[in-house]
Structure 1
Amino acid sequence: MNDMKEIIDEIKARCDIASIISDYIKINPSGGNYKGLCPFHVEKTPSFYINTSKQIYKCFGCGEGGDVINFIMKIENLDFMDAVKLLASRCGIDINFNMDEDTKKKIELSKKYQDIHVEAARFYYAQLMKSKNRGYDYLRNRGLDDKTIKSFGLGFAPDGWSSLIDYLTENKGYSIEELMECGLAGKSTKYEDRYYDKFRNRVMFPIFDYRGNVIGFGGRVLDDSLPKYLNSPDTLIFNKRHNLYGLNFARKNIKDRTLILVEGYMDLISLNQYGIKNTVATLGTAITQQQASLIKRYADVVIISYDSDEAGIKAAIRAIDILQKEGLSARVLNLSDAKDPDEYVRKYGVANYNKAVKESIERTKFRIDIMKRDFDIDNGEDAIKFARKAANLIKSIKSPVEIDYYAGYVGKIAGIDVESIKKEIYGKSYTANRKSGKNNTSLKNEKIHIEKMSAIEHGEENTEALLLKSMLEKRDIREIASLKLDYDDFISEDAQKVFKEILEYDSKEESERIDIKEINIPENYMNLLQKTEISAIDIFNRKEVEEMIRNVKKNGMKNKMESLVVKQAELETKRKSLGSEQKTELKEVDVEIMNIALQIVEMNKRLRSL
Structure 2
Amino acid sequence: MDDFKDIIEEIKARNDISDIISSYIQLKPSGRNYKGLCPFHGEKTPSFHVNTSKQIYKCFGCGAGGDVISFIMDIENLDFMDALKFLAEKSGISINQNIDEKTRKKLEKIKKFQEINIEAARFFYSQLMKRDNDAFKYLIKRGLDEKIIKNFGLGYAPDAWDQLKNHLLSKKYTIEEIFECGLVSQNKNQTNYYDKFRNRVMFPIFDYKGNVIGFGGRVMDDSLPKYLNSPDSELFNKRMNLYGLNFARKHIGNDDKLILVEGYMDLISLYQFGIKNVVATLGTALTEDQAKLIKRYANNLILSYDSDQAGINASLRAIEILENAGLNARILNLGEYKDPDEYIRSKGVGNALSAIDSAVDSLQFKIDVLSKNYDLDDRKESMKFLQEAVKIIREIKSPVELNYYIEYLSKITYTNPDIIMSEFDKKTNSKINYNNKKVNTFKEKEVINIKKVSLAQDAQLYREINLIKFIMLSSKARAIVPLKIREEDFIYETSRIIYKTVLNTDIKGIIDINKIYNEKMDKDYLKKLDTISFSIDCNDINEIENIVNQFQKYTSKSKIEKLLEKQKRLEDRRKTIKEKTEEAKEVDLEIMKIALDIISENKKLKSL
Instruction: Tell me the TM-score normalized by structure 1.
Output: 0.68
Equivalent position of 1:93 in the other structure = 93
Which residue identity lines up with residue 299 of structure 1 in the other structure? A
Report the CA distance shift for 1:381/1:28 in structure 2 as closer, same or farther (over 3 A): closer
1:305 correspondence with 2:304: yes
Report the CA distance shift for 1:443/1:124 in structure 2 as closer, same or farther (over 3 A): closer
How far apart, in 1, do the equivalents of 2:465 and 2:319 lie?
38
Which residue identity lines up with residue 361 of structure 2 in the other structure? E
Report the CA distance shift for 1:312/1:446 in structure 2 as closer, same or farther (over 3 A): closer
Equivalent position of 1:330 in the other structure = 329
The answer on whether the counterparts of 1:35 and 1:46 sit within 8 Å (CA) in structure 2 is no
Equivalent position of 1:214 in the other structure = 212
How far apart, in 2, do the equivalents of 1:137 and 1:328 lie?
39
Which residue identity lines up with residue 133 of structure 2 in the other structure? N
How far apart, in 2, do the equivalents of 1:235 and 1:570 lie?
51
How far is the alpha carbon of 1:147 from its aligned partner?
2.4
Which residue identity lines up with residue 185 of structure 1 in the other structure? V
The answer on whether the counterparts of 2:244 and 2:267 sit within 8 Å (CA) in structure 1 is yes
CA offset digits 1:337-372 (Å, max 9, x no partner): 322111222222333222222211111110111111
How far apart, in 1, do the equivalents of 2:75 and 2:266 lie?
26
Equivalent position of 2:172 in the other structure = 173
Report the CA distance shift for 1:409/1:558 in structure 2 as closer, same or farther (over 3 A): closer
Report the CA distance shift for 1:352/1:56 in structure 2 as closer, same or farther (over 3 A): farther
The answer on whether the counterparts of 1:76 and 1:252 sit within 8 Å (CA) in structure 2 is no
CA offset digits 1:152-181 (Å, max 9, x no partner): 211111111100000011x21112222222
CA offset digits 1:250-297 (Å, max 9, x no partner): 223223432211000111112222222221111111111222222222
CA offset digits 1:193-224 (Å, max 9, x no partner): 43210001111011122222211110011233
Report the CA distance shift for 1:4/1:315 in structure 2 as closer, same or farther (over 3 A): same
Moved more, 364-373 or 128-137: 128-137
Which residue identity lines up with residue 426 of structure 2 in the other structure? G
1:556 correspondence with 2:541: yes
Equivalent position of 1:104 in the other structure = 104
CA offset digits 1:117-150 (Å, max 9, x no partner): 1111111111112345221222222222222222
**Cα RMSD, aligned residues only:** 4.0
How far apart, in 1, do the equivalents of 2:349 and 2:20 lie?
35
Q: Among the aligned pairs, what percent are the same residue?
A: 54
Equivalent position of 1:289 in the other structure = 288
How far apart, in 1, do the equivalents of 2:90 and 2:49 lie?
20
How far apart, in 2, do the equivalents of 1:221 and 1:382 lie?
45
How far apart, in 1, do the equivalents of 2:376 and 2:147 lie?
50
After the TM superposition, which residues 301-380 of structure 1 pair with which residues of structure 2 at under 5 Å, given as runs? Answer: 301-380=300-379
How far apart, in 1, do the equivalents of 2:224 and 2:136 lie?
20
Report the CA distance shift for 1:425/1:29 in structure 2 as closer, same or farther (over 3 A): closer
Which residue identity lines up with residue 165 of structure 1 in the other structure? K
What SS does the corresponding residue of 2:96 show, helix, strand or coil? coil
Report the CA distance shift for 1:569/1:164 in structure 2 as closer, same or farther (over 3 A): closer
The answer on whether the counterparts of 1:391 and 1:425 sit within 8 Å (CA) in structure 2 is yes
How far apart, in 2, do the equivalents of 1:153 and 1:443 lie?
54
The answer on whether the counterparts of 1:206 and 1:214 sit within 8 Å (CA) in structure 2 is yes
What SS does the corresponding residue of 1:130 show, helix, strand or coil? coil
Report the CA distance shift for 1:22/1:132 in structure 2 as closer, same or farther (over 3 A): farther
Equivalent position of 2:239 in the other structure = 241
1:277 correspondence with 2:276: yes
Report the CA distance shift for 1:121/1:34 in structure 2 as closer, same or farther (over 3 A): farther
How far apart, in 1, do the equivalents of 2:463 and 2:302 lie?
34
How far apart, in 2, do the equivalents of 1:284 and 1:391 lie?
34
After the TM superposition, which residues 112-191 of structure 1 pair with which residues of structure 2 at under 5 Å, given as runs? Answer: 112-169=112-169, 171-189=170-188
Which residue identity lines up with residue 358 of structure 1 in the other structure? D
After the TM superposition, which residues 569-608 of structure 1 pair with which residues of structure 2 at under 5 Å, given as runs? Answer: none
The answer on whether the counterparts of 1:423 and 1:430 sit within 8 Å (CA) in structure 2 is no
CA offset digits 1:464-491 (Å, max 9, x no partner): xxxxxxxxxxxxxxxxxxxxxxxxxx99
What SS does the corresponding residue of 1:205 show, helix, strand or coil? strand
Instruction: Tell me the TM-score normalized by structure 2.
Output: 0.68
Which residue identity lines up with residue 263 of structure 1 in the other structure? E
The answer on whether the counterparts of 1:56 and 1:67 sit within 8 Å (CA) in structure 2 is yes
How far apart, in 1, do the equivalents of 2:10 and 2:172 lie?
39
What SS does the corresponding residue of 1:424 show, helix, strand or coil? helix
How far apart, in 2, do the equivalents of 1:367 and 1:272 lie?
28
Which residue identity lines up with residue 126 of structure 1 in the other structure? S
Equivalent position of 1:266 in the other structure = 265
Equivalent position of 2:221 in the other structure = 223
Q: 2:203 aligns with which of 197, 202, 205?
A: 205
Report the CA distance shift for 1:97/1:382 in structure 2 as closer, same or farther (over 3 A): farther
CA offset digits 1:58-84 (Å, max 9, x no partner): 778867566543432222212233211
Report the CA distance shift for 1:380/1:447 in structure 2 as closer, same or farther (over 3 A): closer
How far apart, in 1, do the equivalents of 2:82 and 2:147 lie?
29
What SS does the corresponding residue of 1:280 show, helix, strand or coil? strand
How far apart, in 1, do the equivalents of 2:483 and 2:418 lie?
41
The answer on whether the counterparts of 1:260 and 1:302 sit within 8 Å (CA) in structure 2 is yes
User: 5+ residue gaps in structure 2?
Assistant: 432-439, 451-461, 485-538, 559-608
The answer on whether the counterparts of 2:4 and 2:99 sit within 8 Å (CA) in structure 1 is no
Report the CA distance shift for 1:378/1:248 in structure 2 as closer, same or farther (over 3 A): same
Which residue identity lines up with residue 88 of structure 1 in the other structure? A
Moved more, 110-119 or 192-201: 192-201
How far is the alpha carbon of 1:229 from its aligned partner?
0.8
Report the CA distance shift for 1:181/1:326 in structure 2 as closer, same or farther (over 3 A): same
What SS does the corresponding residue of 2:542 show, helix, strand or coil? helix
Q: 2:442 aligns with which of 422, 434, 437?
A: 434
The answer on whether the counterparts of 2:464 and 2:551 sit within 8 Å (CA) in structure 1 is no
How far is the alpha carbon of 1:383 from its aligned partner?
2.1
How far apart, in 2, do the equivalents of 1:76 and 1:135 lie?
36
What SS does the corresponding residue of 1:239 show, helix, strand or coil? coil
How far apart, in 2, do the equivalents of 1:423 and 1:492 lie?
34
Moved more, 422-431 or 70-79: 422-431
Report the CA distance shift for 1:18/1:140 in structure 2 as closer, same or farther (over 3 A): farther
Aligned residues: 477
How far apart, in 2, do the equivalents of 1:31 and 1:430 lie?
52
How far is the alpha carbon of 1:316 from its aligned partner?
0.6
The answer on whether the counterparts of 1:247 and 1:279 sit within 8 Å (CA) in structure 2 is yes
How far apart, in 2, do the equivalents of 1:110 and 1:317 lie?
36
The answer on whether the counterparts of 2:3 and 2:99 sit within 8 Å (CA) in structure 1 is no
The answer on whether the counterparts of 2:96 and 2:104 sit within 8 Å (CA) in structure 1 is no
Which residue identity lines up with residue 411 of structure 1 in the other structure? S
Q: 2:248 aligns with which of 241, 247, 250?
A: 250
Equivalent position of 1:587 in the other structure = none
Moved more, 376-385 or 65-74: 65-74
Identify the structure with bigger relative contact order (alpha carbons < 8 Å, sequence gap 6+). 1
Report the CA distance shift for 1:155/1:420 in structure 2 as closer, same or farther (over 3 A): same
The answer on whether the counterparts of 2:481 and 2:548 sit within 8 Å (CA) in structure 1 is no
How far apart, in 1, do the equivalents of 2:426 and 2:245 lie?
46
Report the CA distance shift for 1:130/1:91 in structure 2 as closer, same or farther (over 3 A): farther
The answer on whether the counterparts of 2:131 and 2:137 sit within 8 Å (CA) in structure 1 is no
Which residue identity lines up with residue 324 of structure 2 in the other structure? K
CA offset digits 1:561-597 (Å, max 9, x no partner): 46469889999xx9xxxxxxxxxxxxxxxxxxxxxxx
Report the CA distance shift for 1:328/1:186 in structure 2 as closer, same or farther (over 3 A): same
How far apart, in 1, do the equivalents of 2:185 and 2:393 lie?
51
How far is the alpha carbon of 1:409 from its aligned partner?
1.4
The answer on whether the counterparts of 2:470 and 2:477 sit within 8 Å (CA) in structure 1 is no
